[in-house]
Homo-oligomer: A and B are copies of this chain.
């Protein structure tokens, strides 16, 4: 039987559209109590036993027979050798991608990562100082989802932010190392790297062990154990978002070659069966052309089975009344990737409020953004673009408020602060302000 992908067809004109679509969109990262308990145990064990615990779990889960954790460190020489061993065309592609990602993130730092201050009328200085994190950990998945591009996307913004040390962890089940991942670590300037993974790697980075240094923040995607571990260590260290399945939403006005759009839907669907690809289009005939492209192109795709499962299970081709309605639906979804495949993308862009990344125009395939356009490919999933942002330089910086009150400023501010502090019943707060007044009033003894 030939493989087919028939993404469900919906129409916003249908009376059941909202319910049908809601059912299609539904995804929830139901917490698995068994995973939670297992992860809690691993975290506690690594916290108490350090290296020994990490080593045991790595032996057990990844079948590595190291005697010490130090053996699991990848040296700079090994990273460099990996880089030199890959084909020249891959080396050049990695370097070109890294250069573009770097320059985008440098622009980002310039736009929003600089310290600032001002002096107000009474001579008080107010501002904010922006400083890099000292040390961060990046988690790189091993096995089938080991993406060298993710190494670049996590490490380069950290570098641009000015982070002192970037510690990479990557599981290597049965000792199988991914040469491109090691090469990417070399290109991105990873400081140290260890072949450990899972909750034990997250624990090692969060608490530190004899061999693996404690970091200030952990970024990067991972499986359910890694996600649970990151959630649990949040607060001890910073974390980036907890990623759900990847999604693409294509808003099409019918002007892009249908094969291009079909392939863009595939490029999301090929990630895994839970990935979601949705087309929104006011032109019914065009939707039919995209379905024909899907039918024609699918059989040749090496990952056709995953693509078919994803499109059949979670895809949708949606006929909308017009492009305005398509934009409104997109805002309700807040997709990770949003392609505006229109001859006039700048017309629709201002209507789009919530999305991880917005790809404008027919030539901007999502895959160009995934690898080398420059912006980060670590993006908020599952509607979290309503409140979160792409991974960026700002994730590797933090801010400190700066306040230097002048003697004159202390006179006016002191009266305001004292009034409010007394109102809250915090007399020491009030008194600290009043002691700086030229004439110190008696302390109020209100309750």
Contacts and interface: CB of A to CB of B under 8 A. Distances in A.
A93 B420 contact: yes
A367 B435 CA distance: 11
Contact of A401 (B238, B375, B400): B375
Contact of A267 (B93, B113, B216, B429): B429
A428 B134 CA distance: 38
B416 A370 contact: no
A419 B93 contact: yes
A213 interface: no
Interface string A402-413: 111111011001
B409 A363 contact: yes
A420 B267 contact: no
Interface in A335-364: 345-346, 349, 352-364
B360 A307 contact: no
Given A118-B107, A126-B373, A267-B428, A259 B403 contact: no
A400 B367 contact: no
Contacts of A433: 365, 367-368, 371
Given A113-B112, A267-B432, A423-B180, A404 B367 contact: no
Contacts of A398: 354, 380, 385-389
A344 to B, nearest CB: 12
Contacts of A77: none
A388 B118 CA distance: 23
A426 B260 contact: no
Contact of A128 (B111, B149, B415): B111
Interface in A120-178: 120, 124-126, 128-129, 131, 133-134, 144, 147-149
A358 B401 contact: yes
Contact of A432 (B111, B237, B367, B380): B367
Contacts of A414: 368
A189 interface: no
A428 B270 contact: yes
A264 interface: yes
Contact of A263 (B94, B353, B401, B435): B435
Task: Give the interface centre of A300, A361, A398 by most chain B CB atoms within 10 Å.
Answer: A398
A445 B433 CA distance: 73
A431 interface: yes
A231 interface: yes
Given A93-B420, A368-B414, A375-B403, 5 more contacts: A111-B128, A133-B386, A354-B400, A365-B433, A368-B433
29 contacts: A90-B423, A92-B419, A93-B419, A96-B416, A107-B118, A128-B390, A148-B423, A149-B420, A231-B234, A238-B387, A266-B428, A267-B429, A303-B425, A357-B402, A358-B402, A359-B405, A360-B402, A360-B403, A361-B405, A365-B417, A365-B433, A365-B435, A367-B426, A371-B420, A372-B420, A375-B401, A376-B401, A386-B398, A389-B399
